[in-house]
């Protein structure tokens, strides 16, 4: 299952950059199981949910250990329109859709067409 999270940390401190950069190290153990892309504003995590959510937790815990008031803002999604599942997103915990994508698309289009 393709899952993604766009996350941002907001430490309420003068040294907010140091808190954020220090906390990002908490993602290192997940780098082989998640796609991780960090820019100036946020970090994108892509992978199976049973890896994604513990990584988010560990990032927040690492920031909170600074002793500063911290906020983690996250937008979590199941998939992204038009983007295929990546092999890294395979989830043994949840499993993937039981029906192939093309069949699900046909069924969805048929349901829309039959709607009064």
Q: What is the CATH number of the domain that holds 80?
A: 3.30.70.930
Q: Which of 71, 61, 6, 74 is nearest to 35 (CA)?
A: 6
CB-neighbour burial class of residue 112 (10 A; exposed 0-12, middle 13-18, buried 19+): exposed
Total domains present in the chain = 1
The predicted model scores a pTM of: 0.70
Please list the pLDDT of the chain residue by residue as tens digits (116 residues): 678 899 999 999 999 999 999 999 999 999 999 999 999 999 999 988 889 999 999 999 999 999 999 999 999 988 665 566 666 555 565 555 566 778 878 888 888 888 87
Helix (H, G, I), strand (E, B) or coil at 11: strand
Task: Evaluate whether 69 touches 37 at the Cβ level (below 8 Å).
Answer: no
> Per the structure block, which two tokens stand in for 81?
């329109």
Task: Characterize the bridge pairing of strands 35-38 and 3-11.
Answer: unpaired
| 42: containing domain | 3-113
Task: Evaluate whether 114 touches 21 at the Cβ level (below 8 Å).
Answer: no
């Amino acid at each position: 299952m393709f899952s993604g999270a766009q996350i941002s940390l907001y430490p309420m401190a003068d040294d907010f950059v140091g808190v954020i950069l220090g906390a990002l190290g908490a993602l290192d153990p997940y780098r082989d199981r998640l796609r991780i892309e960090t820019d100036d504003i946020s970090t994108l995590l892509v992978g199976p949910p049973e890896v994604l959510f513990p990584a988010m937790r560990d990032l927040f815990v690492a920031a909170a250990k600074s002793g500063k008031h911290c906020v983690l803002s996250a937008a979590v999604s199941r998939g992204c329109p038009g983007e295929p599942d990546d092999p890294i997103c395979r989830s043994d915990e949840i499993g993937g859709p039981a029906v192939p994508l093309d069949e699900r698309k046909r069924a969805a289009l048929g349901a829309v067409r039959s709607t009064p």
